[in-house]
Amino acid sequence: MSVREHALDKALQILEALKCQYKVITIDGKQHGDLVVMDNRKKKRPLLPIGTYSNYIRPHLEKLEVGDVAVLPFGDFVGGDLQSNVGARAIHLWGAGSYKSCITGKTVEVLRLK
């Protein structure tokens, strides 16, 4: 028995003697104890194919003149993500400071400023 295995065995004996609930997972993946460990990491949204946002946004913004407003429904997108991508596209098309956007209900509104 190695020093590490011996130390682990002693630690587990102490936890058992104290009637503790525990879960120990060693480097090699062996699990000791009956405590259920919850995975509290956020679930990630699935990645969309490249160009999905751009293909949706481009037709709404391409023909906007200064002072025009475009309204983009969320559709299958998350509002904040859509607004962020709208901003990136607006800056690409017209430059920094060229637009204002806001989320209104289930849409993103974009006002072209310059």
Q: What is the pLDDT of residue 65?
A: 95
Tokens of 22: 């525990």
CA angle 33–34–40, rounded 5-degree value: 105
Q: What is the pLDDT of residue 93?
A: 94
Q: Which tens digits make up the pLDDT trace of 57-99?
A: 999 999 999 999 999 999 989 999 999 999 999 999 999 999 9
CB neighbours of residue 8 within 10 Å: 16
What is the DSSP-derived secondary structure letter of residue 36? P
94, 112 contact by CB (below 8 A): yes
* Helix or strand holding residue 10 (H, E): helix 3-17
CA angle 8–21–16, rounded 5-degree value: 50
41, amino acid identity: R
What is the DSSP-derived secondary structure letter of residue 63? T
Q: What is the pLDDT of residue 102?
A: 96
